Structure 1
């Protein structure tokens, strides 16, 4: 059931809260999972107790919880989307979003290869002044995926007009790692579901050419778009499944999502049930785990902790779950004592507000 958008003013506030929630929730899930990303469930329980991690884990004497490449790339995606909207609004030039996203990932690649902004290559013409490339805290290599690194280095931008045909893409055609889906939520914050799906899937092909890799990215963006527009979580997933069925080669992604929905209907969540969906290293498994955890319990805290306490890619599954839950509940629905300790929180919130201001629906009573 859609939620009421009573007035234009209220609609704008709800939209802004959901954009903030999506980006901050993704960063929070990422920060919860990053310290245990490469640990088995047995090792997590041995180190943190039978329940696994029950809150943020800090590195050394730090009081800030680190984010990983998942949040880094999500932020650069957001920056590119803002640029694309500004370009169309101010100059009347549309269709350049794919190149802007590619350039954003090239800037992210600079943060992985250089020690700080002083050593980074000058940003491309038209890059935002004082943008993410100037943020020293983003110059941290946090286990980035090989496909993301090699793909961004190839400087490929997909044709935004080509249909999604279910065939392998030009770059890393065999790769369906979760590095494309974990950065794709921002497309669903700025577009209706159909457009969000198509844009996220094409942008995924900058680094990941396997059809499941790019369809999973499109599916996350569509789920976020439906939720932002007021759908329930389950309704958003079911509508996304119908959207997937229009595209050849969707079966692997659809099967994983369907399994997540069916498992959530059983209730009684456990880490072992999470692991039955896979480890999350590949796109459809990461998406399924994030969706399952978001669906199976009404508690945001419990869902986030469930999404990271398993033997797999904990930061990516936590990030996806956080994106979905944040889009549903807004930033006010996230655990504030945790959010306050997330690395880069103020900059993430400011970027979210920029996206909301630039991309808000023209009539907030009818989002998108």
Structure 2
């Protein structure tokens, strides 16, 4: 597959890529929605509320079935930022972490404002989607990290002690940059994670997850994708806890029938490496997407991020047609997710036809403005 700038994609390649993009984003959102009603509950509480088998179907959260959390919201703004970075490249202003930071600040505005501010012409279409203005339990590191316009960097990260899974749960889109080399994918995910979570285990988990999705989106199998992540991690200072977590996931596959207790053991205290480990395990042992996501949510603890990561992996591996249609039918924001997924696929495969240094489609620039303003 040739994916360098200006390269021509075949029709079958474009269709496969679009299916994996849709599968990744929809899979992550469905996992998020399945886990939202039981996020933070213990295994016994889950069984008391949902029966002896735990969660087997979408259940109400935030007043409706299929509701997503801040993980999905931020994932969509990650996609928006990546498209905007590509569009701005024509201007010579090529610094994707800055474009991602601006996208995350647009998300932060949705958590403060009652609804879209149409006076902010540079916001683009995603920030005008009213359903995204619901506050879905964003964590303190997210709100603090994006509470002002200073961008956290690896040298000067925001929230240096924050080690939760939130940046990992928004990092699947980095893996969909299939034309990039894996080490560049990892670097971008790591730099953007440090904008809210400065502990090495948090940003390295985000990088490892992005590289795993990247390998899957390029057609590799789960085991090989995890091995690629491990190989790249080995060169990173402070990688040991994340590498050990991935190795535990691989080892757990050989330890008998999968069940919630084994997933809970991998999750541990709910730090980023544990959630990543559990999600990788669920994807490795999944008989199908439904089975993998149910495993991810019934362990107790951080059900929403664990299932979101699992869904992203399985969606990248199998494409959108593997996802349960009944769950997709009730998924909050599905039209928006599909719209931005298809925009991303079109940008990555046909970007030069949409914009180039000599000119651009006015409609595309209205959707993804080149302007740098974020907040009024």
Give the alignment's TM-score, normalised by structure 1. 0.88
Say if 1:178 and 1:280, in contact at 8 Å, map to a contact too. no
Q: Cα deviations across residues 97-133 of structure 1 (Å, max 9, x unaligned)?
A: 1111111111111111122224x8x54x7442xx221
The aligned residue for residue 160 of structure 2 is 173
- Superposed displacement of residue 59, structure 1: 4.4
Alpha-carbon contact 1:192-1:225 (below 8 Å) kept: no
Residues 244-300 of structure 1: per-residue CA shift (max 9 Å, x gap): 001111001101111011102334101000011125632111111111100012311
Q: 1:111 to 1:280 in 2, by over 3 A?
A: farther
Structure 2 residue 176 is the aligned partner of structure 1 residue 189:
yes
- For 1:29, the equivalent position in structure 2 comes to 31
User: Are residues 1:198 and 2:187 paired?
Assistant: yes
- Counterpart CA distance in 1 for 2:204 and 2:229 is 11
Q: Could you say which residue in structure 2 is the equivalent of 1:148?
A: 142
Tell me which residue corresponds to 1:106: 105
Contact 1:280–1:317 at 8 Å: present in 2 too?
no
CA distance in 2, matches of 1:81, 1:281: 28
Measure, in 2, the Cα distance between the counterparts of 1:319 and 1:61: 20
Aligned-pair distance for 1:60?
8.2
Residues 197-236 of structure 1: pairs in structure 2 closer than 5 A: 197-236=186-225
2:5 counterpart residue number: none
- Aligned pair in 2 of structure 1 residues 226, 61: CA closer, same or farther (>3 Å)? closer
Query: Aligned to 1:153, what secondary structure does the other structure show?
Result: coil
Distance 2:217 2:111 in 1: 32
| Partner SS state of residue 66, structure 1 | coil
Tell me the distance in 1 between the aligned counterparts of 2:136 and 2:105.
17
1:161-216: CA deviation from partner (whole Å, max 9, x where unpaired): xxx7xxx7431111111111110110110233221111000000100111111000
In structure 2, distance between residues paired with 1:78 and 1:343? 17
SS class of match (2:314): helix
What SS class does the counterpart of residue 230 from structure 1 fall into?
A: coil
- Decide which moves more: 317-326 or 263-272: 263-272
CA apart distance, 1:50: 1.4
Of residues 347-356 and 261-270 in structure 1, the stretch that sits farther from structure 2 once superposed is 261-270
**CA-atom RMSD, angstroms?**
1.9
Q: For residues 4-62 of structure 1, what are the alpha-carbon distances to aligned partners after superposition, in whole Å with 9 as ceiling and x for unaligned?
A: xxx82111110010000000000000000001002111010111111101010024874
Aligned counterparts, 1:265-304, within 5 A: 265-279=254-268, 281-304=270-293
The separation in 1 between residues aligned to 2:268 and 2:55, in whole angstroms, is: 17
Instruction: Mark the runs of 5 or more structure 1 residues left unpaired by the alignment.
Output: 1-6, 363-368
| Alpha-carbon distance between aligned partners in 2 of 1:229 and 1:264, rounded to the nearest angstrom | 23
Q: Show the counterpart of 1:75.
A: 76
Map of 2:17 onto structure 1: 15
Match of 2:355 in 1: none
Question: Which ranges in structure 2 are unaligned for 5 or more consecutive residues?
Answer: 1-8, 352-376
| CA distances 1:328-351 after superposition (whole Å, capped 9, x unpaired) | 111111111111110000110110
Mapped to 2, the partners of 1:193 and 1:360 lie a distance apart of 18
Residue 117 (1) aligns with residue 124 (2): no
Contact 1:297/1:303, CA 8 A, preserved across alignment: yes
Q: Distance in 1 between matches of 2:293 and 2:286?
A: 10
TM-score normalised by length of structure 2: 0.86
Residue 359 (structure 1) aligned to one of 325, 348, 351? 348
Q: Distance in 2 between matches of 1:230 and 1:182?
A: 21
Take 1:279 and 1:72, find their aligned partners in 2: how far apart are those partners?
26
CA distance in 2, matches of 1:292, 1:80: 29
Aligned match for 2:50, one of 44, 48, 51: 48
